Amino acid sequence: MNILTIETSCDETAAAVVTDRFDVLASVVASQDELHRRFGGVVPEIASRAHLERILPVVDQALRQAGLKPEDLDAVAVANTPGLAGSLLVGLVAAKALCVTLDVPLIAVNHLQAHIYACRLAAEKDVFPCVGLIVSGGHTCLYRCTGPLDFELFGATIDDAAGEAFDKVASMLSLPYPGGPSIQRAAEKGNPKAYRFPRALLGDDDVLDFSFSGLKTAVRYKLVGPGRQDFSQIELAEQQVADVAASFQEAVVDCLVAKSMAALRKMGLQTLCVGGGVAANARLRERLAEETARHGVELHIAPIRLCTDNAVMGAIAVERLRAGLTENLDLDVYPGVVRATRAC
């Protein structure tokens, strides 16, 4: 079977063609980074308008890459939760239109489950049950994943997502958007111990939540002082930028690693799967590898190309299809995080 997967939950317009044997026949990602760069973050209205312009050319390109005609498709899958409402709607409407025209089933994809499924795809073996850490621009969540479609939320950020903090701190340091890769690059020459930034909610292993807004504020205070917002007046030496970037990155990584290990202990699991844009971070990958090796935990981090948003991870649709989970045309978008999902 050939399945077209569509992903428009945030600011990447993506389409892929995968088979029910997990062969990837095509993958196209149209990034909107340049449209959002001057705002230092994703502007929802700009994102949905850009999706509208790009969705059909992106689907077209995916079909051409796969060497298929629309009639060769056996199903269409689309991420309908969580994400920006307007962005999700563009993908959903496109998917529904294709399903009606081609008379094929519609499959709903949970974007966070798909981020974890990227680990399953790369491992080419079963990775469940596992703790799933999803760490991206919009989400920072810890799930107990008993199967590819069975997720239960155990912890989440109570304010900003980790990626959001990377993007905002990069903007304070006048580093280009998206902030994650810029901070990582700057941090390579920095001292992670130069500044002692706060690690919120650490120390209590029963709490599996995260908080990054205080860390953001601590960086701001360090740079411009309390109550001041204007970064245009400050001039930082290259080494200072590197030191702030490295110290900030280390604080985020400390929290993500500590809470993931606490979640494994609490849930009595021995496998950790990590996905989402921030999972591309080299320091996070390095620290997770060290810590899981020390505790005999099996670690699966999505390969870099499948960390940031893409449609290949929508291959989780194959699992839904096998479980007989297809949708009616009244399928809607759900912007918020679903706390628990069951494949029945």
Site for Zn ion in 306-325 (CB under 5 A): 309
Q: How many residues bind Zn ion (CB under 5 A)?
A: 2
- Pick the closest to residue 317 from 22, 40, 68 (CA basis): 22
Please identify, using beta-carbon distances, which residue of 243 and 309 lies nearer to Zn ion. 309
Closest approach, Cβ 300 to Zn ion, in A, equals 17
281 binds, among Zn ion, ligand KG4, none (CB under 5 to 8 A by kind): ligand KG4
Distance, in Å, from the CA atom of 221 to the CA atom of 332, rounded to the nearest integer, reads 42
Cβ(157)–Cβ(210) below 8 Å:
yes
Distance, in Å, from the CA atom of 79 to the CA atom of 81, rounded to the nearest integer, reads 6
Please identify, using beta-carbon distances, which residue of 17 and 79 lies nearer to ligand KG4. 79
264 binds, among ligand KG4, Zn ion, none (CB under 5 to 8 A by kind): none
In the three-class reduction of DSSP (H, G, I as helix; E, B as strand; rest coil), residue 195 is classed as coil
Helices (H) and strands (E) in the chain, counts: 10, 11
Closest approach, Cβ 143 to ligand KG4, in A, equals 15
Give the C-alpha distances (Å, rounded to integers) separating 65 from 106, 272, 293, 308, 310.
22, 33, 39, 21, 15
Closest approach, Cβ 85 to ligand KG4, in A, equals 14
Site for Zn ion in 121-140 (CB under 5 A): 136
Please identify, using beta-carbon distances, which residue of 98 and 272 lies nearer to ligand KG4. 272
180 binds, among ligand KG4, Zn ion, none (CB under 5 to 8 A by kind): ligand KG4
Closest approach, Cβ 225 to ligand KG4, in A, equals 26
Closest approach, Cβ 247 to Zn ion, in A, equals 26
Closest approach, Cβ 287 to ligand KG4, in A, equals 12
Taking every pair of Cα atoms in the chain, the longest distance, rounded to a whole number of angstroms, is 61
Which residues, listed in sequence order, are joined to residue 135 by a DSSP beta bridge?
Answer: 140
Q: Is the dihedral of CA 65, 69, 75, 80 positive or negative?
A: positive
Please identify, using beta-carbon distances, which residue of 157 and 247 lies nearer to Zn ion. 157
Closest approach, Cβ 196 to Zn ion, in A, equals 31
- Please, where are the H alpha helices in 103-224? 111-123, 162-172, 179-187, 213-224
Of 118-126, 202-210, 302-310, 330-338: span binding Zn ion (CB under 5 A): 302-310
Q: Which residues bind ligand KG4 (CB under 6 A)?
A: 10, 136-138, 163, 166-167, 178-181, 184, 276-278, 280-281, 308-309
Please identify, using beta-carbon distances, which residue of 88 and 108 lies nearer to ligand KG4. 88
- Pick the closest to residue 157 from 218, 114, 219, 200 (CA basis): 200
Residue with tokens 């025209």: 101
163 binds, among ligand KG4, Zn ion, none (CB under 5 to 8 A by kind): ligand KG4
- Pick the closest to residue 162 from 27, 279, 306, 294 (CA basis): 279
Residue 280 identity: A
Query: Using CB under 5 A as the criterion, which residues of the chain lie in contact with Zn ion when the complex forms?
Result: 136, 309
